[in-house]
Amino acid sequence: MKVSLFITCISDAVYPRVGEAMVRLLARYGIKLEFPSVQTCCGQPAFNSGYWDDARASARTILDAFEDSDFVIAPSGSCTGMIHHYPKLFEQDPATLKRAEALKNKAYEFTQFLVQVLGVTDLGAFFPHKVTYHPSCHGSRLLGIKEEPLALMSKVKGLELVPLPYAEDCCGFGGTFAVKMADISGAMVTEKVDHVLETEAEVLVGLDMACLMNIAGNLRYRNQPVRVMHLAELLYEGVKGA
């Protein structure tokens, strides 16, 4: 079984430790993640901005990169969700459409792969902290990720999971939205952080580093000590400390 890591732009450039945590966690289950170096951006910024020809160029590179993979795993519901749009991009190109459908069917967000494919929920982790969880929009709405991260956290010894008020509300990042509508974006993330602080959690966890980067920035701006982590990081730290 050839399982490949699609690292995504933000994790690759800013948060490589998330990819490292994924690699080390999956190695515990006998999976050696391949890393095709030709991979690039999924094309979502161009797609969302209406530049579909540019999005197709990125998508073709991704299709080539993971052509021979049995599974493609990403630490992002947003970028994995973009792969689910590839068939729309190539609906007038039957040959490429077939490849796009094949990639869509084998692309998984990290927690989806752990729970749905490997059947793993208990990694034997220990993380004695008060945690709240932000469900990113694309992961929950495009991919339907809801129970998988909760199932994984429920098995972490010592972890106290505190519900996040209005958890389903967007953090305000939205990729290009944060640039085009900066004032609205800022108001949305401020409201999101208000709710995070209501929980009195020590740690905010999520599945998308873009969203977490946005929330973490607001927390730092307000001098709030809440730690922000991708769930893969939390699980790996918990496994090391168990």
pLDDT tens figures, 151-206:
999 999 999 999 999 999 999 998 788 888 889 999 999 999 999 999 999 999 99
Answer yes or no: is pLDDT of 105 > 80: yes
Residues in the chain: 242
Please, how many CA atoms are within 13 Å of residue 131, restricted to the half-sphere of its CB?
Answer: 26
pTM of the model: 0.94
| Architecture of the domain spanning 130-241 | 3-Layer(aba) Sandwich (3.40)
Give the pLDDT confidence score for residue 180 in this predicted structure: 86
Spatial contact of 86 and 104, defined as CB atoms under 8 Å apart: yes
Give the pLDDT confidence score for residue 122 in this predicted structure: 97
Give the pLDDT confidence score for residue 98 in this predicted structure: 98
Give the pLDDT confidence score for residue 113 in this predicted structure: 97
Look up tokens 């929920």; give the residue. 121
Q: Where are the domains of the chain?
A: 3-117, 130-241
| Residues 6+ away with beta carbon under 8 Å from 54 | 43, 46
Give the pLDDT confidence score for residue 175 in this predicted structure: 79
Measure the CA–CA gap between 5 and 22, rounded to whole angstroms: 9
Spatial contact of 44 and 175, defined as CB atoms under 8 Å apart: yes
Average pLDDT, the chain: 96
Spatial contact of 7 and 96, defined as CB atoms under 8 Å apart: no
Measure the CA–CA gap between 201 and 197, rounded to whole angstroms: 7
Measure the CA–CA gap between 122 and 120, rounded to whole angstroms: 6
Furthest-apart CA atoms within the chain: distance in Å: 53
pLDDT in tens, 37-69: 999 999 999 999 999 999 999 999 999 999 999
Spatial contact of 237 and 127, defined as CB atoms under 8 Å apart: yes
Answer yes or no: is pLDDT of 242 > 70: no
Spatial contact of 232 and 21, defined as CB atoms under 8 Å apart: yes
Give the pLDDT confidence score for residue 174 in this predicted structure: 84
pLDDT in tens, 2-15: 999 999 999 999 99
Phi/psi-derived region of residue 174, left when phi > 0, alpha when psi is between -120 and 50, beta in every other case: left
Take residue 42 and report the two structure tokens written for it.
């999924």
Phi/psi-derived region of residue 166, left when phi > 0, alpha when psi is between -120 and 50, beta in every other case: left
pLDDT in tens, 114-140: 999 999 999 999 999 999 999 999 999
Determine what percent of the chain is predicted with pLDDT higher than 90.
93
Give the pLDDT confidence score for residue 8 in this predicted structure: 96
Answer yes or no: is pLDDT of 214 > 70: yes
Mean pLDDT of 60-89: 97
